Amino acid sequence: MGFWDRFSTDIGVDLGTCNTLIYVRGQGIVVNEPSVVAIERGTKRVMAVGAEAKRMLWKTPSDIIAIRPMADGVIADMDSTEKMIRYFVSRIIKKRHLLRSTRMKIGIPTCITEVEKRAVLEAAYKAGAKDVSVIEESLAAAIGAQIPIHEPAGHMVCDIGGGTTEVSVISLGGMVVTSAIRLGGDKFDEAIIRDVRNMHNLIIGQQTAERLKIAIGNAVSDEEVKKVEIKGTDAITGLPRRLEVASSEVQEALKEPSYQIVEEIKRTLGKTPPELAADIIERGIVMTGGGSLLKGLPKLISQETGVPVILVEHPLDCVAIGAGQAFELYKDIDSDRSIYASLSN
């Protein structure tokens, strides 16, 4: 055990588009809240962060704005990202001097640019952290899913978040093939919003759409028809109205985004070296991220690719856990192997 291992606190951060999770070595997941910040327009004062701020989203009076700083998988708003990290970190580390002995690793989407990567690191430094590095989300998800990533064998991980879907093949502790699209659970919600409007002239909000998706959504056809009552605004009269939506309609809306994910997985399989592809057929595709909880999605992917699919037990926790555990896992390996990008500060 080295000097750092004895005295430092290892922290893994999953700065997701929907949810932020923080894992502390020896303690487990200590923060699990929506990535939302509510800010007072004039003063820029932070009114609320996390679950409390989410309740304000779409419902705020005009002087308070609730934002999702990581929307679309990147930092859409630098200032609020910093404030969000600062708030969550201050909740777990009360004494500021303790931050000095904290090592923080943040999971970032593979598809983000160098500039965006720096923005993440900068936000964490500004929030008071001293030793910050980043790790590709796919790699973190694989570690968190307890995949033996150092084996000389191919493993495929598919992480479906709110804003992005990442498909990667990992072998010998690094990523061999990776592809990412800016499509995730949010697009499923948007598809539901669009279909309900087109078919029923009813305008619904994102939270209502998400509720429908989780309650009666399915990526494959389901014989049994379930119904859920929702409320929205009539597109013609502008008046509030109730509507009963059938699961078959929701399924129809979810088809297109589901198949886009299938296509991305197929593309990645096509780019995978044959030897590793053989391993993947054997071991299956491992699915992580909240989006993979959509009913029927693992089944659809398996049907369309002919490869078995495994949904991990806690798909929402993998990235944070993996980022936090990466320190231990890679401690004997040359840290320059381009697995981490890090800023000296």
- Please, what sign has the CA dihedral across residues 294, 181, 172, 101? negative
Place of tokens 């910093």: 82
Q: Are 167 and 180 in contact (CB under 8 A)?
A: yes
Q: Are 46 and 38 in contact (CB under 8 A)?
A: yes
User: Which of Mg ion, ligand ADP, none is residue 298 near (CB under 5 to 8 Å by kind)?
Assistant: none
Q: Which two tokens stand for residue 111?
A: 């598809």
Work out whether 161 is an interface residue with Mg ion (CB under 5 A).
Answer: yes
Q: How far is the CB of 316 from Mg ion (least distance, A)?
A: 8
Q: How far is the CB of 44 from ligand ADP (least distance, A)?
A: 24
User: Which of ligand ADP, Mg ion, none is residue 144 near (CB under 5 to 8 Å by kind)?
Assistant: none
Work out whether 185 is an interface residue with Mg ion (CB under 5 A).
Answer: no
Contacts with Mg ion by CB under 5 A: the residue count is 2
> Which residue, 99 or 245, is less far from ligand ADP as judged by CB?
245
User: Which of Mg ion, ligand ADP, none is residue 109 near (CB under 5 to 8 Å by kind)?
Assistant: none
User: Which of ligand ADP, Mg ion, none is residue 145 near (CB under 5 to 8 Å by kind)?
Assistant: none
CB-facing half-sphere around the CA of 47: CA atoms within 13 A: 20
Q: How far is the CB of 246 from ligand ADP (least distance, A)?
A: 18
Ranges of beta strands (E only) in the chain are 9-15, 19-24, 28-34, 37-40, 46-49, 64-67, 102-108, 131-136, 155-160, 165-171, 174-181, 202-203, 227-234, 240-246, 285-288, 309-311, 340-342
Closest residue to Mg ion, judged by C-beta, is: 161
CA 193, distance to chain mean position in Å, is 21
The interface region with Mg ion, picked from 16-24, 41-49, 50-58, 149-157 by CB under 5 A, is 16-24
By CB under 6 A, name the binding residues for ligand ADP: 16-19, 161-163, 184-186, 210, 213-214, 289-291, 293-294, 316
